[in-house]
Amino acid sequence: VPREKEIYDTRCHDTGSESCPCFLADAGQCIACPVLRGEQDCDACAWGGVCVYDSYSRGDQAHTRRYIRAPIKSEKSTAAGLHCVTVHTPRHWSAELRQPGSFLMVKPPGSEETWACPMAVFSVASSGELSTIVYRERGPKTQQLARHLKTWEVAGPYRSGLLGVRRLNRAVDCDALILTSGTGQSLLPNILRRLNDNNCSVQIALDPGMDGAAYVVQALPEFAGSLSLIRLDAEIAGCRQESTAGIISSSSAPLVISLGSDHLHIKVGAALQRDRLWVASNNRIMVCAAGWCGACTVIRRDGSELRGCRADIAPEDVFWSGDWKGERDSR
């Protein structure tokens, strides 16, 4: 693992993809290109692929992700409001959907885009045509999804489900510590596959959450390392109780990954030394996931703003304020 006391250089998840350049370029707010942001030169650009400014100047039309109908193949739910839904998705999405941090925007059929929710992809069938999503029913959006169990509409694949994802992708032959709670565990299978491919050893501390559902356990690929079921910072029958800070200080893994609520991230961030690399689930509220609505805006320490649905930023760029207590997800 490259140790970085690092300034994680901010990029756009979509640079060079078929979704680039987008209308953030029209608005003078392109995440990738300093010139399109009104700066004089492109010295600050670390992108080594097709020049975004050149594509924009030539009038290249970006492909916008559109919602498509996704018939539901199967659905299981628990009394505690946990739903496991398998939907038909296009085969050519499957490689993207197996990447760490991939997600879909999901909404009930025929509804406005404001009803859409980002949903992490839990697994993709070997045929490449079925994707499984696990979510908890909380607020009106997820309640509406639970009432429409024949067909959903989905758009994607989106890539910004993890803050600091390049640290994860670059980690080779190293130890990683993963703390996960609640439905944050849905991100685990794709992450674990990447760490396996890169010959990493992994220690997982899994807090099953309110209803004690450690649903990810049966879906995990074989991996080098250990998994313990615990209750982070609280009591629950049948689980060991451990403190987030205690788990972090007893591990020397250079890569620490937190998958859960902002409250978990804030505790992890407070316990981490700066020479350890941190990756976290991206819990920004997203509505369009395309950079135009502003719901996901991240304000950085220097006052600059970024769209959290498109910008590839580090967790410490989000969780920098000691006063900030995190957003509560009640979608």
Smallest gap from Cβ 292 to ligand FES, in A, equals 6
Q: Does 294 bind ligand FES (CB under 6 A)?
A: yes
Smallest gap from Cβ 83 to ligand FES, in A, equals 23
Tally of CA atoms within 13 A in the half-sphere of 170 that contains its CB: 13
* Burial class of residue 101, CB neighbours in 10 A (0-12, 13-18, 19+): buried
Q: Does 288 bind ligand FES (CB under 6 A)?
A: yes
Smallest gap from Cβ 65 to ligand FES, in A, equals 12
Contact 132, 121 (CB under 8 A): yes
- List the one residue from 287, 298, 306, 314 that touches ligand FES (CB under 6 A): 287
Contact 151, 135 (CB under 8 A): no
The piece of 13-21, 200-208, 289-297, 318-326 that touches ligand FES (CB under 6 A) is: 289-297
Q: Does 217 bind ligand FES (CB under 6 A)?
A: no
b/e sequence 53-81, b meaning 16+ C-beta within 10 Å: bebbeeeeebeebebeebeeeeeeeeeee
- Of the candidates 135, 130, 126, 82, which has an alpha carbon nearest to the alpha carbon of residue 106? 135
- List the one residue from 293, 326, 329, 331 that touches ligand FES (CB under 6 A): 293
Q: Does 161 bind ligand FES (CB under 6 A)?
A: no
Q: Does 117 bind ligand FES (CB under 6 A)?
A: no
Pick the closer one to ligand FES by CB: 217 or 299. Answer: 299
Q: Which residues bind ligand FES (CB under 6 A)?
A: 286-289, 291-296, 307, 309
